[in-house]
């Protein structure tokens, strides 16, 4: 009979060598296999240093587990740094090699020595959204990190979980200075005073964010906290959140978000994050059209 059991909560982390198909086509099986094998070995060594272990390797991908989410986050950072240093030192015959990393934290279900159930399935879904040199994590994984680390996580998307169909938040965790994730050029975070409340008004609907209600999702479909009727607004367009006394708006859309403070120039965010201060307007979609259906008024207190 199969030995099925649940054993606490666990991190499953996948790291996938980027562009491995090209390596085999360009350099041949022997050289590509050597370099991919070296990458996987280096990743396993990093995992071991941070109290993790390699469960298995699958072609150009390694699957690791960690008991402590903080260990997984630090290991993911070091994995990228280790490969960057190894590439610079000329250790790979194929040049610079990079990986994509995705991880999830949840209940572990085992069948013999194999992890089964939602945990590895969701982790695999998270890494499927990652780009080279990115670290993506599920909302459950981010929630298990210390508050200071959670503050740096950026919501990238909310998708339907393959495990149970529920919304699955996917966050990007920074591991270096990331020029693509900027704060307002007109109002950098360091220059913005902290606020207690943020009022958002869309048509006749008004919403207040504060310590008790820290998040607001904006999009075109039902299920968002603010639902616009504009065809220029993405289904899951942006998230507004309170972190460490500041209100952030994170755009994750196709058309971008225009933020226009009452006393300053407008800033167009496209897959970027900005800090809200004072009062002004947010246009989620085609700002040039002046679409009232896509416009939200904000006021910080």
Q: What is the pLDDT of residues 10-21, one digit of tens each?
A: 999 999 999 998
Among 77, 197, 66, 86, smallest CA distance to 144 is for 66
Q: What DSSP state is assigned to residue 12? A: E
Rounded to whole angstroms, the Cα distance separating 258 from 237 reads 12
Residue 7's pLDDT band (boundaries 50, 70, 90)?
low
Tell me: the pLDDT tens digits for 90-124?
A: 999 999 999 999 999 999 988 888 888 999 999 99
E strands present in the chain = 4-17, 52-58, 61-66, 99-111, 114-116, 135-138, 154-160, 167-172, 198-202, 205-209, 215-219, 226-227, 238-243, 246-251, 257-261, 267-269, 273-276, 279-284, 295-300
pTM of the model: 0.59
> According to CATH, what is the number of the domain 189-300?
2.60.200.20
Domain with CATH 3.30.70.1230 in the chain: 4-172
The larger pLDDT score, comparing residue 163 to residue 31, is at 31
Q: Which CATH class is domain 4-172?
A: alpha beta
Chain region(s) in the chain for CATH 2.60.200.20: 189-300
């Amino acid at each position: 009979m199969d030995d099925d059991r649940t054993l606490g909560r666990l991190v499953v982390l996948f790291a996938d060598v980027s562009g491995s198909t090209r390596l085999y086509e360009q350099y041949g099986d022997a050289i590509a296999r050597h370099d991919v094998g070296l990458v996987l070995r280096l990743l396993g060594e990093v995992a071991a240093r941070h109290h993790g272990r390699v469960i298995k390797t699958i072609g150009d991908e390694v699957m690791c587990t960690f008991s402590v989410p903080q260990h997984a986050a630090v290991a993911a950072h070091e994995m990228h740094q280790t490969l960057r240093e190894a590439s610079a030192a000329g250790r790979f015959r194929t040049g610079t090699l990079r990986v994509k990393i995705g991880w999830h934290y949840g209940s572990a279900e085992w069948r013999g020595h194999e992890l089964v159930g939602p945990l590895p399935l969701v982790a695999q879904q998270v890494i499927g959204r990652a780009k080279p040199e990115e670290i993506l994590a599920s909302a459950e994984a981010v929630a298990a990190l210390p508050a200071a680390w959670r503050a740096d996580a950026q919501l990238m998307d909310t998708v339907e979980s393959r495990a149970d169909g529920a919304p699955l938040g996917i966050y990007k965790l920074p591991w270096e200075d990331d020029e693509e994730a900027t704060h307002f050029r007109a109002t950098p975070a360091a220059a913005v005073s902290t606020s207690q409340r943020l009022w958002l008004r869309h048509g006749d609907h008004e919403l207040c964010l504060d310590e008790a209600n820290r998040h607001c999702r904006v999009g075109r479909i039902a299920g968002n906290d603010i639902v616009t009727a504009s065809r220029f607004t993405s289904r899951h367009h942006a998230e507004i959140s309170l972190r460490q006394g500041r209100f952030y708006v994170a755009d994750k859309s196709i058309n971008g978000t225009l933020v226009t403070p009452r006393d300053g120039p407008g800033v167009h965010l496209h897959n970027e994050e900005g800090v809200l201060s004072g009062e002004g307007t947010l246009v989620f979609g085609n700002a040039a059209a002046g679409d009232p259906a896509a416009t939200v008024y904000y006021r910080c207190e």
